[in-house]
Amino acid sequence: MDPKLIEILICPITAKRLRLSKDKKFWERLTKKFAYPIIDGIPRLSPEDVIDDFKKKIGYKFLGSNPQD
């Protein structure tokens, strides 16, 4: 991803900066309470795509979806 884009990437809900998760599967809020999935290399920043910490921790195993599929 373009470093210039990373510098301006913000949460569409709070307008605060986001950071890439350690596993590089999510853009997460600095509080780590919510994250946005990266699907096929594209960050999903729609409020409908927000993932709370619980869903991220269980890895979607019981929710029937996986942002990496």
Residue type, 34: F
Confidence (pLDDT) at 63:
47
Residue 44 lies in a domain: yes
Token pair in block for residue 64: 């029937």
Residue 63 lies in a domain: no
Question: Which residues constitute the domain of residue 53?
Answer: 3-58
Confidence (pLDDT) at 35:
84
**How many structural domains is the chain composed of?**
1
Q: What's the pTM value of the predicted model, to 2 decimals?
A: 0.62
Percent of residues, the chain, with pLDDT higher than 70: 71
Region 37-62 average pLDDT: 70
Cα–Cα dist 40/35, whole Å: 16
Residue 69 lies in a domain: no
pLDDT digits (tens, 9 = 90+) for 48-58: 777 765 565 55
Cα–Cα dist 62/17, whole Å: 30
| Helices of type H across the chain | 3-8, 53-58
Residue 31 lies in a domain: yes
